[in-house]
């Protein structure tokens, strides 16, 4: 369900609405005129606007963090909602679809000034650009300072950018399952994903709207990504070398006729599921935004950069994460001013544990962060 209203209207809970924030000058030199941001809110903003929390979504996430006035389940129910650590009975919670996305904010599939989709003409948008856009929406909502900004994976990188770009507007910052910059290995995995899409015969340089979408390329990109989201131990324990019944990896006289292993079927499912809900150009745009993640760019070394923020930090990692290693969270915490602990989510699943097992941090968030 979607509703278009003026941002000053007191919103219902968990309903998508839209705000126009004007033109946006971009860090890499591009420009987007008349940018729209899709967002959802939960709870009530208090009289002095001191109870607002921004929750940032990850790469292919939406604005729908938790249930509201609909029955649709959110993607971080353990974290936010009535009585949850981010208690929507206490806080005014906001989630914004990132610029470049495909859940209502201006992105490659949006109409350009000539009326045609942006497609191949969509500019590079960095996480700093997305922060600048979100700051304008915060202004429209009457929020001059966030009680907290938090997120996991790309959402954590976005939260960190908020604390450094607008230090006077962020009182608390939670950075979960991400480091201060994307590493060479993370960029390499990301490039393989974007290349899978670009090499799809239907990609057409990004101008595929109105024709066949590059579904095979997008599904392959998701397969590559999902391998990094799950741990080797989790894949082995769930699937091992088991065949996908009634198929057999050893049936057929030629390679093309063989059956699949269960893990192959699982990756096929993950790829095909994303194709049904996400735009390939947005996948490229947001992946490249995450590739650009480097809080030190133009700011100095890590310690100098982090000293810009006066926020109280909460840093957490998943112990089995092989995409954003726990060591990156430790490096971030050690460079922050003061003593900052790294809270550990114990989950054999891998990187996705920041979503599925965030409940493990509920006590720490309540006692040491959201106070």
**CA dist 188 → 113, 148, 225, 288, 301 (Å):** 34, 32, 11, 11, 23
Cα 113 to the center of its chain, rounded Å: 27
pLDDT tens for each residue of 293-322:
999 999 999 999 999 999 999 999 999 999
Mean pLDDT of 334-342: 96
The tokens of 312 are what?
């109280």
- Is 34 labeled as catalytic in the residue annotation? no
Those residues whose C-beta lies under 8 Å from the C-beta of residue 256, and which sit 6 or more positions away, are none
Cβ-based neighbour number of residue 346 at 10 Å: 10
Evaluate if residue 7 carries a pLDDT over 50: no
Does 34 appear as a known binding residue? no
The 8-class DSSP code of residue 71 comes to -
What is the overall mean pLDDT for the chain? 95
Model-level pTM greater than 0.85?
A: yes
For the cut 70, the answer to whether the pLDDT of residue 105 exceeds it is yes
Q: Given this model, what pLDDT does residue 6 score?
A: 44
Amino acid 121: pLDDT = 98
Per-residue pLDDT at 103 exceeds 80: yes
Do 14 and 67 meet the contact criterion of CB atoms below 8 Å apart? yes
Parse the chain into domains and list their residue ranges.
17-181+295-369, 187-287
- H-helix or E-strand containing 274? helix 262-275
Q: Judge whether 71 is annotated as a binding position.
A: no
If pLDDT is split at 50, 70 and 90, which confidence band does 70 have? Answer: confident
What's the whole-number mean pLDDT along residues 108-134?
98
80-105: average pLDDT: 98
- Residues making up the chain, counted from first to last: 371
pLDDT tens per residue, range 148-167: 999 999 999 999 999 999 99
Let me know: does 10 contact 42? Beta carbons within 8 Å: no
The pLDDT of 227-235, averaged and rounded, is 98
CB-CB contact of 57 with 155 (8 Å): yes
Lowest mean pLDDT among 115-119, 251-255, 273-277, 297-301: 251-255
Check 13, 64, 343, 351 and give the catalytic one: 351
User: Which token pair is 22?
Assistant: 């004007």
pLDDT in tens, 15-44: 999 999 999 999 999 999 999 999 999 999
Residues 95, 110, 153, 231: which is the catalytic one?
153
Q: Which residue out of 177, 321, 329, 343 is catalytically annotated?
A: 321
Confidence of residue 4 (pLDDT cuts 50, 70, 90): very low
- Terminal C-alpha separation, the chain: 33
Q: pLDDT tens-digit profile of 162-192?
A: 999 999 999 999 999 999 999 999 999 999 9
Architecture of the 187-287 domain: Orthogonal Bundle (1.10)
- Using an 8 Å Cβ cutoff, are 26 and 7 in contact? no
pLDDT digits (tens, 9 = 90+) for 268-286: 999 999 999 999 999 999 9
> Count of CB atoms within 10 A of residue 268's CB?
15
Look up 109 and say whether it is catalytic.
no
> What's the confidence (pLDDT) of residue 11?
55
User: Is 17-181+295-369 assigned to CATH 3.40.50.1820?
Assistant: yes
Query: Is position 320 annotated as part of the catalytic site?
Result: no
Given a cut of 90, whether residue 330 has pLDDT beyond it is yes
């Amino acid at each position: 369900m979607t509703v278009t209203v003026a941002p000053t209207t007191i919103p219902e809970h968990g309903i998508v609405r839209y705000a126009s924030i004007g033109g946006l000058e971009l860090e890499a030199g591009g420009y987007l005129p008349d940018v729209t941001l899709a967002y959802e809110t939960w709870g009530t903003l208090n009289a002095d606007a001191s109870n607002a929390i921004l929750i940032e979504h990850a790469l292919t996430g939406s604005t729908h963090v938790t249930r509201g006035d609909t029955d649709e389940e959110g993607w971080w129910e353990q974290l936010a909602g009535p009585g949850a650590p981010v208690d929507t009975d206490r806080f005014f919670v906001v989630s914004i679809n990132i610029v470049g996305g495909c859940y209502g904010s201006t992105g490659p599939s949006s109409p350009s000034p000539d009326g045609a989709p942006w497609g191949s003409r969509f500019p590079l948008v960095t996480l700093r650009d997305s922060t600048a856009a979100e700051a304008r929406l915060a202004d429209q909502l009457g929020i001059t300072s966030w009680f907290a900004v938090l997120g996991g994976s790309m959402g954590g990188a976005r939260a960190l950018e908020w604390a450094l770009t607008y230090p006077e507007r962020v009182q608390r910052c939670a950075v979960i399952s991400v480091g201060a910059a994307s590493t060479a290995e993370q960029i390499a995995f990301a490039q393989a994903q974007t290349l899978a899409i670009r090499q799809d015969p239907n990609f057409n340089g990004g101008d595929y709207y109105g024709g066949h979408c590059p579904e095979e390329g997008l599904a392959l990109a998701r397969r590559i990504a999902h391998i990094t989201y799950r741990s080797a131990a989790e894949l082995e324990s769930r699937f091992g070398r088991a065949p996908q019944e009634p198929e057999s990896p050893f049936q057929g006289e030629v390679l093309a006729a063989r059956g699949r292993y269960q893990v192959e079927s699982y990756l096929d499912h993950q790829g095909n599921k994303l194709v049904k809900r996400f735009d390939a150009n947005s996948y490229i745009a947001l992946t490249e935004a995450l590739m650009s993640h480097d809080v030190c760019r133009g700011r100095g070394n890590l310690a100098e950069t982090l000293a810009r923020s006066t926020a109280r930090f909460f840093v957490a990692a998943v112990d089995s994460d092989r995409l954003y290693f726990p060591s990156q969270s430790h490096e971030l915490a050690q460079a922050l001013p003061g003593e900052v602990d790294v809270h550990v989510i114990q989950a054999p699943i891998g990187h996705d544990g920041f979503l599925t097992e965030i409940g493990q941090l509920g006590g720490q968030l309540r006692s040491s962060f959201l106070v």
